[in-house]
Each structure stands twice: as structure tokens, then as C-alpha cells.
Structure 1
């Protein structure tokens, strides 16, 4: 077996390559093992794209989402153009329970930021048309767990 016992030995007559490649593979396997608990959360909105979601604290998200698999969220966009980043958190008193971040596809961010005076309106349109329902599927042992995150602008609006 090769690095960390995970890869079979591969013979080659290129001894320099073999030595360098073996070390690189060993380093790569070590990094994978170090992050074996890492988990990518994928969000599926009502849009022609998938959202890779990063959790500030995955366990906090899972604790909240397992207790409330269908809940309302707050969506915020910070930055501009390609540097824009979105955050998603529970709506209401438990807003600090978790925070997920994601980026939209570049062409959508370019459209949002393309006309400065329409940026706020376009951000709102993206929220209501594409991000109003985001479903996250997660492997849970032998089964699959799903979470429904709902953005409802009418429920969030609070007149003075």
C-alpha cells in the first residue's frame, strides 16, 4: 500500500517522479484525513444552480435544523459584484443560532450589480424568485435528512 495505507504502490521507471509523487500523495492523504469530519452542505434553491453553503459552526446548524427542519430565514447580501457574499440565518429571536454563507454564480452577481440604481431591487428579486425556498439534503447514516429554509419577505416586513 502507498501513502497512509490507502493507495496501492504503483511501479514506475521514473524514480524521481515516483519519489516526488509519493510524497505529494502522502501529504494529500494527510490533509484529507485531517479534514475527514468536514462536510459540504449543498443547498438546492428554486433556480438553475446549486449553492455550496459554508457553516460558521456545522454542529450549531445541525442542532437547529434537526429541531426545526422547516423554518424561516433571513437573507443578507454584503459586498458588490464578484466580491458579494450572502449570509443566511434563522429569522427572529434565534437569529444567532447559526449562520451559513454562500456566493451566487458570477453572472447573476454581475446582473445584480450591473446597474447601480437597480441593485437593491435586483437583490430583492433574486431573493424572492430564486432563494425563497432552499432545500438542504444531508446523508444521515443510511438515510437522508432534508431541511427546508424559507425566505418570506412579506412575513419579514414590519411597518413602523
Structure 2
């Protein structure tokens, strides 16, 4: 007979039937016997490690620490590169000023009189008349002008 049929028929099921024996008496009081060392309790893991979310929390904390350290390293590298770039810009500005100064010297020193004086001081002599060799389309050559050798340079002063 099933429970459902027992209920329908009015018969008490085994679980709901009253007990034939009364419940046991109240538990006795336990006391510690003197002179016997108490049994050592088993050590339990700390509560934080027993928590099921602890690995996830540790992972999140580790990722935050790793991200923070990564950003710190990246920021330091960017600052070092920025300092190098600033130094290179300063060097470029100094070199640009030097180029401008040298160009100014070239511009001021390119007057024909100064060039001629510099050439004479270097021991150069003015060129004589030039001659030109013209090649015809048929392969022949014609000399135009009368070439002349340059005059001999003047002797250098004995004081040098």
C-alpha cells in the first residue's frame, strides 16, 4: 500500500504513525576528566581560504596589481622617451643656429673682391683666356678661342 492510498483509506503511514516507545531521556552532562590531556582539535584552514570566492578575488587583486605595475612601467618609459625627445629638439635647435651662422659667413664672404683676395692668399692665380672644343654632329671637332697658360704665381713673402 502506498502513502497516497493509505491516506485515502484513512490508515496512518509508517512515518506519521505514533511511536510505540517514548523518546530517550535527556542527554547526560559531559564533564572533563582531570589529569587526562584534552584531545587536540584539528586545525582548520583560515576562513578566507575556505571561502569559495577567494580564488576569484585573489585573481582580480593580482590583475589589478599587475595592471598598475604595467602602467607604471609604461609611464616611466614614456617619460624617458619624452626627455630624450626634448634633448634631441634642443640639440637640433643648436645645430640649426650653427648652420644659420655658417650660411651667414658664406653669404658675407662671397663678394667678388673677397673671393679674389682669398684666392690670392691661397696662392691661386687668375686664369687666362679659355678655349672651347666643339664637337660636330658628324664626329669632327673644332677649337674655338685661343687658350693661354695661366701666369706663374707671385713668390710668397718670406715672412710666412
- Short-chain TM bin: under 0.3
Highest relative contact order (Cα 8 Å, sep 6+), 1 or 2? Answer: 1
So what's the TM-score if we normalise by structure 1? 0.22
So what's the TM-score if we normalise by structure 2? 0.22
Task: Determine which structure has the larger helix proportion and give its number.
Answer: 2
From the CA coordinates, give the structure whose radius of gyration is larger: 2
